[in-house]
């Protein structure tokens, strides 16, 4: 079978998708690093999960609780958007 017009080469697909750890706000990342020294098991697990995922909604409520606790974040004044998208924790692109 012969193609008319030749073949179209595939486009190189380069996605620059950052994981959640890379998207953390600097002050949140710093607090997690400090608290990960105090609580190494919880800190390692949380950091590994943040490296694994690219979207906030992929985290479990337990992961979010650990993220809030280890980052010394005050969540008492969060609104629906903060809980839904994690805007208080991550840089917005």
Full pLDDT tens readout for the chain, 93 residues: 555 666 777 767 667 889 999 999 999 999 999 999 999 999 999 999 999 999 999 999 999 999 999 999 999 999 999 999 999 999 987
Identify which of 72, 78, 49 has the alpha carbon closest to the alpha carbon of residue 62: 49
What is the Cα–Cα distance from 68 to 78, expressed in whole angstroms? 11
pLDDT at 5: 60
SS3 assignment, position 89: coil
pTM value is 0.80
pLDDT the model gives residue 35: 96
**Euclidean distance between CA atoms 24 and 3, whole angstroms:** 49
Give the model's pLDDT for residue 16. Answer: 80
């Amino acid at each position: 079978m012969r193609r008319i017009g030749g073949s179209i080469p595939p486009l190189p697909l380069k996605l620059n998708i950052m994981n959640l750890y890379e998207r953390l706000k600097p002050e949140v990342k710093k607090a997690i690093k400090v608290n990960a020294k105090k609580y190494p098991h919880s800190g390692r697990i949380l950091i590994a999960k943040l490296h694994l995922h690219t979207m906030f909604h992929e985290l479990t409520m337990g992961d979010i609780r650990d993220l809030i606790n280890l980052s010394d974040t005050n969540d008492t004044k969060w609104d629906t958007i903060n809980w839904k998208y994690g805007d208080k924790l991550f840089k917005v692109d």
